[in-house]
Amino acid sequence: MKFVDEALITVEAGKGGAGCLSFCREKYIPKGGPDGGDGGHGGSVILLADKNLNTLIDYRFQPCYRADNGRPGAGRNKTGAGGSDLVLKVPVGTTVYNDETNTLIGEVVADGDVMMVAEGGRGGLGNTRFKSSTNRAPRRTTPGNPGEAFKLRLELRLLADVGLVGLPNAGKSTLISQLSAAKPKIADYPFTTLAPQLGVVSLAPHRNFVIADIPGLISGAADGAGLGTRFLKHLTRTRILLHLVDVAPVDGKDPIEVVEMIADELEQFSPSLADRERWLVLNKVDLVDPDERDEFVAALKDAFNWPHPVHLISGITGEGCELLAYHLMSRLEELAIERLEDPDAEQAERTWLDQMAEEAHERIAEIRETRRMQRKIVDAEDEDNDDDNDDHEMEVIVVRD
């Protein structure tokens, strides 16, 4: 199944039913009076988080959704039936924006979470509602109110505890295949990974965490180059970042320059994401002389004054991978205990996650608008060129004898 993490949909809630104009006409009940019932409420559009879904692809093929209208009222003070709510199932971690105003509506982050995105219209009032001591036979009713209608942008951000970042072919997919049962495609060419991959790292009963692998970053990723900005947003829900570096690259790139480049891309995309706890993982150490490893690690620490752990691994042989997994699990458990013991820690974490998500959304919106303007300029130039070609494509001379 194709991975789709964005979709534009139009939702329209149901219209409320009209109120009824009716008078009681029964034997032995003289001057029965008004008995028109109210109209039913229109159905609402509701999003439901479903853990069994992992893509928004269904909403690419069917972008329009409408809930049922309410039924009109009837005589004998019968209220019309309400319209059925329309429930749309989405993956856990879906964020909803109003596409016209670019404002956040809400998000569903746990299985079973529900969120109303369009409220149904209220039903109209029947003439019974307008009966009074001075108006015994009212003929006034009200129509039902229209339901809300919006154009929404659904954005999926994968829920993971640990996220992998690095250049293409740094070994991210190999690492996730070593740590978990995930089987991503692994090859020796750039951008082997075209969509995010999730893996569950299980160390013992009730000791597990989720790790996310996104397509590799390249220089200019924060400005839309490669696949970077499209999938960097999936790291905004992680608690720890693993920065994978190939210590023996085929192209001979300096690992220190690679670390600086990835750090700059993260900073440009989201300063809050760049400040996230980030561990340095030096991959493919099996290709480095054991006597030179300590000097290499020391040089990296001196170059960046690295405050977080540094691990040496080999994704192919598995060297250091198990130790890395246990250290990650221990750190995640420490963070969980801190949030439980400190009442302000959970709110601070929530604020940080929201800030990363908002910065990512704003950055992606800027890039999307820039690309839209560039397409307009290119289209306008193409139209001008077409006009010129039409004018000078052929010259016809009519000669009369």
Domain 6-156: give its CATH architecture: Distorted Sandwich (2.70)
- Greater confidence (124 vs 189) lies with 124
Separation of alpha carbons 45 and 59, rounded Å: 14
User: Average of pLDDT values for 310-336?
Assistant: 90
Q: Give the predicted TM-score (pTM) of the model.
A: 0.73
Domain 162-361: give its CATH architecture: 3-Layer(aba) Sandwich (3.40)
Reported confidence tier of residue 384, pLDDT bands at 50, 70, 90: low
Per domain, the residue ranges of the chain are: 6-156, 162-361
User: Average of pLDDT values for 175-203?
Assistant: 75
> What is the pLDDT at residue 323?
93
Distances in Å between the alpha carbon of 196 and those of 157, 164, 184, 260? Answer: 10, 10, 9, 23
> What is the pLDDT at residue 399?
43
- Greater confidence (194 vs 349) lies with 349
> What is the pLDDT at residue 324?
93
The reply to whether domains 6-156 and 162-361 share a CATH topology is no
> What is the pLDDT at residue 217?
72
pLDDT one-digit tens code per residue, 107-137 = 998 899 999 999 999 999 999 999 998 999 9
Share of residues in the chain with pLDDT > 90 (%): 33
Residue 18 has pLDDT above 90, yes or no: yes
